Amino acid sequence: MGNMIVENDATTLDLLLEKVYRDGKHDFRGYKRGTVTRRLERRLHATGAKTYLEYMQLLDAYPEEYERLADDLTIKVSGFIRSPYTFQQVMKLVLPELVSYKRDHRQRDLRFWSTACARGEEPYSISILLAEFLGHRRRDFNISVYATDISRHALHEAQAGRYSPQEIEDFSPTILESYFTRQGEGYAVDSNLRQLVDFSYFNLVSTKIPPFMNLDCIFCCNILIYLQKQLQERVLDMLYDSLATPGYLVLGEVETPTDNMRDRLELLDTKAKIYRKNGGGNDI
């Protein structure tokens, strides 16, 4: 036991995360240590390794353990319209302003990005919101909802778009009928919704170069909380660069932008954590 405390210290954890980055190609070095430690303990328990050093040896002997570890370190809890107040405020504060700006500037593209989309609940919720808000005006716009994540397993399920009755139970019968089809025990996302969402792999912490530009609205919800301050700053910088002006950033309810970002974004709703990037010209 004494051994375990000595060996499972912060330095050994750094070494372990460095190894996971170098040999396993998964970068969790800038994630908050509390979550990493708790999740790692589960892998130690599951594999029977008693110390981080023993676990490192195990990674060498069984490289497939890298994937299991990465899967355990990414928390994929999500839900449709996960934060109803946020979605309500996006409908009220973002969409009317954005659509009227597009009209005034004769722009047809509406570009959204769900940056940590898990099993697809968030991008499909965004698409439902857009479809409901636009109604028959939907055909006036080219809608793209980009949805990215680092979990290939989650992306695969998101693409399949099949959900259990419990997962979609908060939707009204009208929404269900409009966007889902009963399939066996569960529900499948209809193609009219599915075609709006473009799923792909993207690691938010691996590069400063955004995969998309000129985005009208970015959802970066419940991922920053897992990252250390410095990494949060880097991710937010990248998201800022990829926003159009005006452009909207939506964070998770318990998340806030870092200090340097707070000065560059206008807060539209404190509780819903909705921010706007404004252009030089004050046209909004």
Ligand X SMILES: C[S@@+](CC[C@H](N)C(=O)[O-])C[C@H]1O[C@@H](n2cnc3c(N)ncnc32)[C@H](O)[C@@H]1O
In the complex, which residues of this chain contact ligand X (CB under 6 A)?
74-78, 82, 116, 118, 122, 149-151, 154, 203-205, 221-223, 252
Choice between 65 and 121, CB closer to ligand X:
121
Shorter beta-carbon distance to ligand X: residue 20 or 221: 221
Task: Evaluate whether 148 touches 114 at the Cβ level (below 8 Å).
Answer: yes
HSE value, Cβ hemisphere, 13 Å, CA-based, for 160: 14
Q: From the CB of 5, what's the least distance to ligand X, in Å?
A: 29
CA separation for the pair 127, 214 (Å, rounded) = 18
Q: Shortest approach of ligand X to residue 109 CB, angstroms?
A: 23
* Nearest approach, Cβ of residue 54 and ligand X (Å): 26
Closest to ligand X by CB, 31 vs 55, is 31
CA gap 151, 70 in Å, rounded = 8
CB contact at 8 A, 133 and 216: no
Q: Kindly tell me which of 99 and 218 has the beta carbon lying closer to ligand X.
A: 218
Cβ nearer to ligand X, comparing 210 with 252:
252
Cα 59 from Cα 206, distance rounded (Å): 22
Question: Token match 């932008």: residue?
Answer: 257
d(CA 101, CA 57): 57
**C-alpha to C-alpha distance for 198 and 177, rounded to whole angstroms:** 22
Q: How far is the CB of 118 from ligand X (least distance, A)?
A: 4
Task: Provide, rounded to whole angstroms, the least separation between the CB of residue 108 and ligand X.
Answer: 27
